[in-house]
Chain A
Amino acid sequence: MSAELEHLPPAPVGGKLVTPTTAVLFGLVLAMVGVLAMRFTQGLGAVTNLNNGYPWGLWIAYDVVAGSALAAGGFTTALLVYILNRGEYHPLIRPALVAALLGYVQAGASVMFDLGRWWDFWHLFLPKYAQVNSVLFEVAVCISAYTLIIAIELMPVVLERLGLESPRKKLNRVLFVFVAIGVLLPTMHQSSLGTLLVVFGPQVHPLYQSNWLPLLFLSSTMGMGFAAVTIEGAISAAGLRRPFEKELLGKLLQIGRVLIGVFLLVRFGDLLCRGKLGLAFTPSLPALTFWLENLLLSVPLWLLATKRHRTSARRVFYGAMAMALGGIVYRLSAFLVAYDTGAGWHYFPSVGELTVTVGLIAFEVLAIIIAVRVLPILPAAATAPASAQRPS
C-alpha cells in the first residue's frame, strides 16, 4: 500500500485569501505591531518582564530556541530525501522547507525585537567584532546563513512560478551544494542552542545543565522537526481538505521515535553517571518540568510502538503533538525554569511579550496559508482517492 499518490507534482491549492481565519490572524499581527511600537520607542522594560536576573525571556526561549527547533523539519526532511536518498519522503520536502523558512524568519525577527542595540546587529557579521569562542556568535551567524540557504532551496519554486525556466535549470544543477550546506548548518546551530546554557554553569539546575546538551538538543530538535512536519500535514489536510498522508508521516515519526529514544537514553544516562538523578525525585519546579517533558516525549514511544499504530491517523497526530510539545517544554524549562540566578529574581512573560509571540505565530500561519494557495508547494491532490480508503 505504498503511496504512489504522493508523487504527484506540486501545485497551488487556490481558493479565497480573505476568510474569517485570515482576518483573525491579521488582527493578531496588528496587536503585535502595537506592542512593538512601544518596545522600540520606550525600551524593553516598557513591554517585557525581563530583568537583570532573567535577561532572556519568552522571545528567546520560545521564538528562537523552540521555534527554530520546530522548523527543523526543513533540514531533517532534506537529509532524508537528498542525503539518504529516501525518495518516498519527497512530497514532504516543499511544505517542510516553507515551514522552515517561516520558522527561521520568525526566530530572526524575534532576535531583532529582543536585541537591545538592534541597529548594531550587523556587528555579528564583521570580522572585526567576531568572537569565535562565543556560542551565541556561532548560533547567530549559523542561523542567519541557514535562513539564506532555505530561501535558495526554495528558489526553484519561485522561478517555476515566474516561468523562468533557464535560471531554474541552472540553479537546479548546483542546488545540491546548498542542500548539503542546508543540512550541515542546522546540525551545528541546533546543537549549539543547547551549548548556550553551558556557560551559565551552576545557574542552570543540575537536571538540565550537562556537557551533553549539544546532543540532547540536536536529537530532540530532529524529532521535533519530524513531528512538526506531521502536524503541518494533518492541519493542511483538515484546513485545505486534502488527504492526510498518514502512512508516510507514520514512517517519518518512526525515525522521530528513534531520535527521541536517543534523547531519553542520553539524558537519563548522563544523570545517572553524574549521580544527579535523585534530584528528579526531590520536589522542585525543575523536577516537575523534567518529568513533564520526558513523559510527553515518551508518549510517541508507546503510542506508535507497532507498525499498525503508525498507520492510524489519530495515533500519528497525537504522537506528533506530544513529541513537539515535549520538545517545547524541554526548551522553555531549560532556559526559563531551570535557570535560576538566585533569590529575588522572577520572570513570567508579560502580556506584551505574549502578544508578540502570538502575533509572530499568526503571521507565520497567515504566510503559510497564502503561500500554499498561490504557490506550487503542496503535491497536487485533485483526485484524492486512495488516501481515505483505509480507516485508522
Chain B
Amino acid sequence: MSIDRRGFLKLAGTTATAAVAGTAVTAEARPPKVMPEEAVGLLFDGTLCVGCRACMPACKQANDMPPELTPLKVGPTGETNAVWDAPLDISGHTLNVIRAYRSGEGTKKDQVEDGFAFSKKSCLHCVDPSCVSACPVSAMTKDPRTGIVGYSVEACIGCRYCVAACPFGVPRFTFDTPTPKISKCQLCKHRFADGHYAACAEVCPTGATLFGKVKDLKAEIARRRSLAPGTSTTFPRGRIDGPDSYVGTVGKYVERTYGEKEIGGTQVMHLSGVPFELLDKPELPSVSPASTSESIQHGIYYGLLAPMGFLGVLVAAARRTMLERGVEPPETPPPPKSSSSGGTP
C-alpha cells in the first residue's frame, strides 16, 4: 500500500504545481482596464426616444447590411407578405435594434404601470471587454485611443468564443452561410474619415442617441440628472460637440446609469425612466470576467515561467527513468522493478 500512497503524494505534488497557482488569483490579479482618455461612445436616453426606429435602417445602410424581412400576415387566410424590415433582435444581419417595454394599457411613456418605454440594444463597447479577452486570434480588438471595440473578418476563424463570452449577448454569428462572420456595432468607425460618426446618432431626430467623447457624455448625464424633471432644457442632437440642439423636457430618470459599472464600465451608456430590469438589460457585476479569467491564466502561467520550471522537472525525471533506468517504450520488457516497495503483497 505504501507504494501507492507515495505515488499519490508525488502525483498530487505534480498536479498541485500545475494548478495551485490558480489560487494565487488575488495575488497575481490583472488590474482592471481603464477608460481611454479620448474614448468615444453613445448616450442613449430612453426618455427622449420616440421609438421612430429611424436609427435602425440608418445603421443598416451605413454598414451595408441586408434587411431582415419579417413576414406580415394579411387577410383571413393569413398569407405572408414579406415586406417588413422589422428585426426584433440584433442578429448576424442587424447591429442595432430599438425595443419597447409595455405594460397594461401601455399609454403612459416611461411609466411602469400601464406604460411603455424604449431601449436600445447594440454593442456597449466595454472598457474591459470579454469578447476581446476571449478572441484567440486578435480579431476582436479595442482601439487604445477611441476605445472602440472593432472586429476584423480577415483575422477571424469563426470559433464564436466572443459570442459565448459577451455578457450582453452582442456579437452575432451568421449561422446561415458557409462563409460566416461575426456582426457587431463598431460605432461606424469606418465613417469617421469622412467626418461622419455613428449613423444611429446622426439620424436620431430627438438626440435620444447621442454620439461623443465619453467624458463629455458623462458630464451631460450629470447635467440632466441635476435638472428638475419636467423643466425644459437644451438637448444636443447628433453629436454632443456638434452645432445641432433643441429645447425639450427633462425626463424622470431611475437612479442607475446602465453602463456606468457593468463589468467594469462601458462606453455606451443608458438613461431610462423605468428600471433596467424591465428593459431586458442583464444584471452584471462590476468586476469584468475578462480580468478574472486573465488573472487566473497569468497566475498559472506566470509568463510561462511556471510551465518551464515544471518542464525542467519532468525532463529530468523522464531522462532518469528512460535512459538511466532503461525503461524504454519497450519492445523489451523493462527490468523487473526494484520491487522492494512491493506492489500487492
| In the complex, chain A residues whose CB is within 8 Å of the CB of B163 | 52, 55
Known: A52-B173, A123-B155. A198 touches B327 (CB 8 A): no
Cβ distance B253 to chain A, nearest Cβ, rounded Å: 25
| In the complex, chain A residues whose CB is within 8 Å of the CB of B25 | 211
Known: A44-B175, A134-B136, A136-B136. A86 touches B7 (CB 8 A): yes
Counting CB contacts under 8 A, is B62 at the interface? no
Binds A, one of B35-43, B99-107, B208-216, B289-297: B289-297
Binds B, one of A18-26, A124-132, A322-330, A359-367: A124-132
Which chain B residue lies CB-closest to A160? B331
Counting CB contacts under 8 A, is B307 at the interface? yes
Q: Is the CB of B178 within 8 A of A41?
A: yes
Counting CB contacts under 8 A, is B12 at the interface? yes
Select one of A131, A215, A307 contacting B138, CB under 8 A.
Answer: A131
Q: Is the CB of A88 within 8 A of B160?
A: no
CA distance A2 to B339 in the complex (A): 10
Chain B stretch 120-164: residues in CB contact (< 8 A) with chain A: 130, 133-139, 155-161, 163-164
| In the complex, chain A residues whose CB is within 8 Å of the CB of B72 | none
| In the complex, chain A residues whose CB is within 8 Å of the CB of B14 | 79, 83, 187
CA distance A124 to B212 in the complex (A): 36
Known: A175-B329, A214-B22. A201 touches B318 (CB 8 A): no
Q: Is the CB of A87 within 8 A of B334?
A: yes
Q: Is the CB of A201 within 8 A of B136?
A: no
Cβ distance B312 to chain A, nearest Cβ, rounded Å: 9
Cβ distance B289 to chain A, nearest Cβ, rounded Å: 3
CA distance A243 to B257 in the complex (A): 69
Q: Is the CB of A124 within 8 A of B91?
A: no
Counting CB contacts under 8 A, is B241 at the interface? no
Counting CB contacts under 8 A, is A238 at the interface? no
Cβ distance A263 to chain B, nearest Cβ, rounded Å: 11
| In the complex, chain A residues whose CB is within 8 Å of the CB of B10 | 84
Q: Is the CB of B173 within 8 A of A55?
A: yes
CA distance A175 to B329 in the complex (A): 9
Counting CB contacts under 8 A, is A180 at the interface? yes
User: What string of 1s and 0s marks CB contacts (under 8 Å) between B269-288 and chain A?
Assistant: 00000000000101111001
CA distance A254 to B2 in the complex (A): 13
Q: Is the CB of A40 within 8 A of B22?
A: no
Q: Is the CB of B165 within 8 A of A200?
A: yes
Counting CB contacts under 8 A, is A188 at the interface? yes
| In the complex, chain B residues whose CB is within 8 Å of the CB of A53 | 169
Known: A199-B293, A200-B289. A51 touches B175 (CB 8 A): yes
Q: Is the CB of B164 within 8 A of A56?
A: yes
Question: Binding site of A, secondary structure by majority: helix, strand, loop or mixed?
Answer: helix
CA distance A258 to B10 in the complex (A): 12
Counting CB contacts under 8 A, is B333 at the interface? yes
CA distance A191 to B284 in the complex (A): 26
Q: Is the CB of A191 within 8 A of B18?
A: yes
Q: Is the CB of B317 within 8 A of A180?
A: yes
| In the complex, chain A residues whose CB is within 8 Å of the CB of B23 | 211-212, 215
Q: Is the CB of B328 within 8 A of A87?
A: no
CA distance A176 to B319 in the complex (A): 5
| In the complex, chain A residues whose CB is within 8 Å of the CB of B314 | 83, 180-181, 183-184
CA distance A136 to B293 in the complex (A): 11
Counting CB contacts under 8 A, is B1 at the interface? yes
Select one of A10, A85, A215 contacting B325, CB under 8 A.
Answer: A85
| In the complex, chain A residues whose CB is within 8 Å of the CB of B288 | 201
User: What string of 1s and 0s marks CB contacts (under 8 Å) between A157-201 and chain B?
Assistant: 100100000000000110111011101100110011001101111
Q: Is the CB of B297 within 8 A of A203?
A: no
Select one of B158, B164, B315, B330 contacting A180, CB under 8 A.
Answer: B315
Which chain B residue lies CB-closest to A204? B289
| In the complex, chain A residues whose CB is within 8 Å of the CB of B91 | 52
Select one of A56, A80, A218 contacting B160, CB under 8 A.
Answer: A56
Q: Is the CB of B167 within 8 A of A202?
A: yes
Interchain residue pairs A-B with the least CB separation, the first 9: A116-B158, A201-B289, A45-B175, A117-B158, A137-B136, A55-B160, A180-B314, A55-B163, A176-B318
18 pairs, CB–CB < 8 Å, chain A vs chain B? A43-B175, A50-B175, A84-B317, A85-B320, A90-B330, A90-B333, A120-B157, A124-B137, A131-B138, A136-B136, A136-B159, A199-B165, A200-B130, A201-B263, A201-B289, A211-B22, A251-B4, A258-B12
Interface contacts beyond A131-B135, A187-B19: sample of 17 additional A-B pairs, CB < 8 Å, sorted by A: A52-B163, A85-B327, A90-B330, A120-B156, A123-B137, A123-B157, A130-B137, A134-B135, A138-B297, A153-B329, A157-B329, A180-B318, A201-B292, A214-B19, A218-B19, A258-B8, A311-B344
> Which B residues are closer than 8 A to A by beta carbons?
1, 4, 7-8, 10-12, 14-15, 18-20, 22-23, 25, 91-92, 130, 133-139, 155-161, 163-165, 167, 169, 172-181, 263, 280, 282-285, 288-290, 292-294, 296-297, 300-301, 307, 310-311, 314-315, 317-323, 325, 327-337, 339, 342-344
